[in-house]
Chains A and B, each alone.
Chain A
């Protein structure tokens, strides 16, 4: 048809959910399940990781057997090392024998590497983590751990020590990589949702603990939103302070939207914490007359974390840049760059109504590139 009817493109597979107390784990799992229920497929489960650095090695034994062995109990938590609630205690097998307590006893070796190798073996045998040992210098070692299972369950697991490691570590990176359904009328792209360990305090609003990494036309672009409590812990810039009480997630096979529900009611109205990704519909040669000369395009855009809520022209200088991709590598944009923006019937000055004074509904066309 010559006239474009501006009709709504229905996917026939759209759904939404409203998530209260959106901790990173609850959010990632809920987001993943919603998208899987509406046309996305899982490409990969991302495994959480965490490291513990031993700057001065670990206890070692002299290797001289002295009998009788002295029975020792677990050192107080976190002992030599703890992963979550499980903790480990070194003991000298030539002088001591394990006693009681909730810890896992680890024999000291004759060298730092041997002691820490025994610790790695104990971790692998007794926890849902796969540990590997890296020797950095003659005395400096790192144990890297990766969760056995993928997903968000093993995020934010604390790794601590009573004096052997450099501070406390917290696991991160667990989540899922999902792929949009695409089909003949929309581009296919991947989105990984996982957590980061940005703590909250001293972070600005762009350093949220919930991370989205989009793989668009072969290039990655990353953006973050806050988890439930992060907004209470420090300066959050123009987005204000306070917890995120709810997230609403809407998904169809081609995109998803996440936004604070609806707005924060504390100090900042219009506290928009959001992300919106979409591979828009475009017609193909099969769906329009050849005379229309439509050219299939690889088109995806991502609206940055705090640009939803104002005018649907996503080019605010003062907010996180958006990501656009139109038949090329994705690029970020703001200001008067060709950012994504909706098309609208142009009524001078104020809203537009029909002859019967009701609102006018039509499809949401987006322009960019």
Chain B
């Protein structure tokens, strides 16, 4: 169980096969409606949250970047719920994360090479955006995505630098791993001053 002020991830250790073995949900970080990404009449977000899991099928964040059975998203008073069935599809604009992958490789059998970085064979670490209806709606707190598969429930240490230049160690758990992406949930930060850190 990994909990923060705004989100919660619960899973059975080493199990990633649906079977009612995981659940997650939270209120994502939402960037201010200003700056480069703003439009003339930005939408003000008053309420937003998401939930995923408790499904008998492996269609949730514990298994992959798309959550399309037993999921709910809610925004400004409107909730959309997908029941626990196997007729839903990830293409229907349901809850999802956004991994970084090579284009033209949507099917898993067309990914003979994992997405890796440069010649070091280490994955990129990117922001863990969450969204639905084909739009980014916010960002998971204390989380990031790797651009390659990992080992489920593995502990991953990474080095980072806070705003005042001091290094610190980020410890995370690989909460899901799928072909070209893994979700890292940060559970501990060691070292640093502490200045400003945000994921």
Contacts and interface: CB of A to CB of B under 8 A. Distances in A.
A353 B135 contact: yes
Given A311-B103, A355-B136, A348 B93 contact: yes
A292 B115 CA distance: 16
A6 B103 contact: no
A313 B100 contact: no
Specify the main secondary structure of chain A where it touches its partner.
loop
A110 to B, nearest CB: 68
A367 interface: yes
A357 interface: yes
Interface of A: 1-4, 6, 282-283, 289, 291-297, 299, 311-313, 315, 326-327, 336, 338, 341-358, 360-361, 365, 367, 369
Interface stretch (B4-12, B17-25, B35-43, B54-62): B35-43
Contacts of B119: 282, 295-297, 299, 326-327, 369
A3 B102 contact: no
B120 A354 contact: no
A166 B135 CA distance: 68
A343 B45 contact: no
Interface of B: 30-31, 33, 36-39, 42-43, 45, 65-66, 90-93, 96, 98-106, 110, 112-113, 115-120, 122, 124-127, 129, 131, 134-138, 144, 147, 158-161, 167, 170, 199
A41 B8 CA distance: 57
Nearest to A282: B118
Contact of A344 (B33, B103, B138, B161): B103
Given A343-B115, A356-B43, A349 B91 contact: yes
A312 B125 CA distance: 22
Contacts of B102: 313, 341-344, 367
A295 B160 CA distance: 19
A354 B104 contact: no
B91 A4 contact: no
B115 A293 contact: no
Contacts of B110: 336
A313 B125 CA distance: 22
Closest 7 CB pairs of A and B: A313-B104, A349-B91, A297-B119, A291-B159, A2-B160, A345-B98, A353-B135
Nearest to B184: A2
A224 to B, nearest CB: 26
Nearest to B126: A4
Contacts of A343: 100-103, 115, 147
B126 A3 contact: yes
Contacts of B199: 3
Nearest to B119: A297
Nearest to A298: B119
Given A345-B98, A356-B43, A4 B124 contact: yes
Contact of B39 (A282, A327, A349, A358): A358
A131 B31 CA distance: 72
A342 B129 CA distance: 19
Contacts of A345: 98-100, 129
Contacts of B135: 352-355, 357
A357 B36 CA distance: 12
Given A2-B144, A313-B102, A355-B43, A360 B136 contact: yes
